[in-house]
Amino acid sequence: MKTGLKLLIVCSVLIMLLGGCSSRPEADTLAVIQAQKGSEYAEMFNALSLGNIFDYNLSLPHADKTWVEVWVEGYKKGKKMQESPLISLSYGFAPSKTSAGALGWGIVKEGGAQKSMILYAPGVSTGLNSVPDVIDKNLSSMMGSVIGDQKLELKAGESAILAVWRQNESGGYHTYGPEQLEEMLQTDTVTLVLKIKVDTKNPK
């Protein structure tokens, strides 16, 4: 093998190793979350015109010691819906020390209206849950992942907003993010919020 080719291979390996080291989570981090683009779930939703989906990669570096809760809160004109949380799942304390896989929230269309939701995480799923009167098909909608392309790290007891679905009568939407939640609740007719929390104990 030529010397130049050997150097190229060595440099490539070093770059990958250094990149891996720099992206390792802190020792007390329980979850690392990052939005996925073009995932199998997203492609399936698009190909079958099922509706809308928020898809993330969830990595648990201490899966055997971590309990995960994921849920969707619903608000109508600033007040929490009586049915809230609209859908939820919880799992944890895996037999393996680490875990990684897809985490997501799907809003499924039926007859031109969003009438069902699904939550999924590595190894678990809620299946389709009917929410027929939550989303108003006559209002404009806006959806978005709150965390963007950034990696989100959570420690024990921490929670975070991952995504929002918004509807109002004017059709005008400003920027959205965790810090704008109260503003969204005041201006939107319908606000749906995807949340996650991790801990080292089962709250039940």
Report residue 126 as tokens.
């809620």
For residue 124, the SS3 value is strand
**87 class by beta-carbon count within 10 Å (0-12 exposed, 13-18 middle, 19+ buried):** buried
pTM above 0.85, yes or no: no
pLDDT score for 20: 37
pLDDT category of residue 12 using cuts at 50, 70 and 90:
very low
> CA-to-CA distance for 165 and 142, rounded, in angstroms?
6
DSSP code of residue 63: G
**N residues, the chain:** 204
Where in the chain are the domains? Answer: 25-70+87-162+194-199
**Spatial separation of the C-alpha atoms in residues 109 and 149, rounded to whole Å:** 26
- 130/79 Cα distance (integer angstroms): 21
pLDDT digits (tens, 9 = 90+) for 114-145: 789 999 999 999 998 988 888 888 888 888 88
